Structure 1
Amino acid sequence: MAIHIKSPWEIEKMTKTGQLHTAIFAEVEPHIRPGVSTLELDQIILRAIQKAGGQAPQIGYRAGGTVPFPSATCMSIDDVVVHGLPSKRPLREGELLKIDFLFTYEGYTTDMARTYAIGKVSPEAERLMRVTEEAFWVGFKLLQPGRRIGDVAAAVQDFVERQHGLWCIREMVGHGVGRELHEDPQVPNYGEPGKGPKLRPGMTLAFEPMVALYPAKMVILADGWTATVGKGNLAAHYENTVLITDSGPRLLTGSQKAVPVER
């Protein structure tokens, strides 16, 4: 396993990339509403990426034997966890939309995802969104040098499954990011304390709890990308790029929030 420890110069580059990435999310958010298509949102984001002088590295990306990914972003609705393809279908009241995309600027890449309620959603959807975001902050606090990936994964799984009765997605995991779109180590949202690679200052991780309402095996649809937990289920996703420092974790995307953690 080759884990890239970033130099101070690289961290400076990734900090700038993350700031621009966060600003692009802020730019698209006012447009997220019923009646707007995910293709329209994808194009707003692509224009913002180009205006910032960056690149959309997902366009043309291949994973294994898959067909090239066609879009700048993943737009995943309701039971689709990740890798949903933007389309012309208008968003509908009550749906959950996950927007997830990588952003490259001056050779360095960050990764970020959010889940949005389209209009008024059900109480169970609201709860799913809240617990998924809170799970990120539960794990974030444990991204400390000297701890192991399994410590973080086990804490997220305990919070989501034992405390809240929801389901951590098994088939998709977080990962290192920076010089490449996907680097070592893998960062799952389930596992055992004391297992996995040790966290070290200079590691940059895409940490991303992905949570479903009900236990399910994720399935990839015929397009080779769309990953679903099945009709009638719901999924939420919350992701930031995080830098491990001597004094603890630092966000490279998003912003630190005082999120009340439900126990």
Structure 2
Amino acid sequence: MGLLDRGVEIKTPEQIDGMRKAGLVVGRTLELLRGHVRAGITTGELDGIAEDSIRSAGATPSFLGYHGFPASICASVNDEVVHGIPGDRVLAEGDLVSIDCGAITLDDSGRGWHGDSAITVSVGPVPAEVEALMAVTEEAMWRGIAAAHLGGRVTDISHAVERHVRSQGGFGIVEDYTGHGIGSAMHQPPDVPNVGRPGKGPRLVPGLALAVEPMITLGTKETDLLEDDWTVVSTDGSWAAHFEHTFTITTEGTWVLTALDGGEQQLSELGVKFGGR
């Protein structure tokens, strides 16, 4: 493991393999949670399912205790953009919930490696505009990942995310919260904004791992922080969606470490060479 400019952490192939193990724990946990989202379940119950899934896999929740965060997932409902704290809130038919999840696995030396991913799930049928919000947000994430290539720059990702969202209508792109580097810590340099000109920021090289996570609203890009000092909501009360994957670029191609298939299907559809093992 080494450091590039601006303190960016560069992992060895073996360390990336450790991140893949964490990524699979996260991916499987999110798929489990997707199946449990229903009217009548509380966000706290979802958190309990997530913690059990992570620990049963021999991993540790990344979020629990992180800067005092009290849960293993973030569960953000409707106008909550990110960092919602799970608790007694009961999900109702027609709600929208984004679930952000992280896990740490240890390598043979005892060093921890992180995976971080998020999905947004509707509780039963939702209006067409909400379906479009989810679809645009998820596709923007994949377009951002697909724009990354060795020798490129971080904001190539940002530009691809923004370009796709802008092409789909008047959605709000949250700018105050961004994607990030990830590896031996959950949040590392560099930031990965969801807007910006291409060709700026650190160069994309083998061993760099990034989390790409567009947060998109049906209205404003402006956000407020609630009194719990965690939950971020849209200022105008518009609903939000959030998708995230952790990925890296190998000499063979792109590898989405938190996707169960490594991202092979979606990358292929976007004309990007798969670089997983």
User: Structure 2-normalised TM-score?
Assistant: 0.88
Range 158-167 or range 9-18, more displaced = 158-167
Deviation at 1:121, TM superposition (A): 0.7
1:114 is aligned to: 119
1:49 is aligned to: 54
1:99 is aligned to: 99
Q: Can you list the C-alpha shifts for 1:42-92, whole angstroms capped at 9, x where unaligned?
A: 000011111111111212211xxxxx1111110000111110011212101
**How far, CA to CA, are the matches of 1:198 and 1:216 in structure 2?**
28
Deviation at 1:231, TM superposition (A): 5.3
Tell me whether 1:35 sits opposite 2:35 in the alignment. no
- Asked whether the equivalents of residues 234 and 240 of structure 2 are also in contact (C-alpha less than 8 Å), the reply is yes
Counterpart of 1:155 (choices 145, 157, 160) is: 160
Counterpart of 2:245 (choices 226, 231, 240) is: 240
**How far, CA to CA, are the matches of 1:163 and 1:2 in structure 2?**
36
- Asked whether the equivalents of residues 210 and 238 of structure 1 are also in contact (C-alpha less than 8 Å), the reply is yes
Q: Can you list the C-alpha shifts for 1:206-236, whole angstroms capped at 9, x where unaligned?
A: 1111111112311111100000003530110
1:65 is aligned to: none
**How far, CA to CA, are the matches of 2:11 and 2:178 in structure 1?**
21
Q: Can you list the C-alpha shifts for 1:95-150, whole angstroms capped at 9, x where unaligned?
A: 11000021111111010000001111111110000000110111111111111111
Amino acid of the structure 1 residue aligned with 2:210: L
Q: Relative to 1, partners in 2 of residues 1:90 and 1:195: Cα closer, same or farther, differing over 3 Å? A: same
- Asked whether the equivalents of residues 219 and 228 of structure 1 are also in contact (C-alpha less than 8 Å), the reply is yes
Amino acid of the structure 2 residue aligned with 1:189: N
**Which blocks of at least 5 consecutive residues in structure 1 are unaligned?**
63-67
1:127 is aligned to: 132
Amino acid of the structure 2 residue aligned with 1:5: I
SS in 1 for 2:26: helix
- Asked whether the equivalents of residues 175 and 182 of structure 1 are also in contact (C-alpha less than 8 Å), the reply is yes
- Asked whether the equivalents of residues 97 and 120 of structure 2 are also in contact (C-alpha less than 8 Å), the reply is yes
2:217 is aligned to: 212
2:274 is aligned to: none
Range 107-116 or range 85-94, more displaced = 85-94
**How far, CA to CA, are the matches of 1:232 and 1:69 in structure 2?**
24
**How far, CA to CA, are the matches of 1:231 and 1:170 in structure 2?**
15
Tell me whether 1:224 sits opposite 2:221 in the alignment. no
**How far, CA to CA, are the matches of 1:156 and 1:126 in structure 2?**
18
2:179 is aligned to: 174
1:79 is aligned to: 79
- Asked whether the equivalents of residues 51 and 61 of structure 2 are also in contact (C-alpha less than 8 Å), the reply is yes
- Asked whether the equivalents of residues 144 and 247 of structure 1 are also in contact (C-alpha less than 8 Å), the reply is no
Amino acid of the structure 2 residue aligned with 1:99: I
Q: Relative to 1, partners in 2 of residues 1:163 and 1:25: Cα closer, same or farther, differing over 3 Å? A: closer
SS in 1 for 2:190: strand
SS in 1 for 2:61: coil
User: Structure 1-normalised TM-score?
Assistant: 0.93
Amino acid of the structure 1 residue aligned with 2:45: E
Deviation at 1:11, TM superposition (A): 1.1
**How far, CA to CA, are the matches of 1:39 and 1:128 in structure 2?**
25
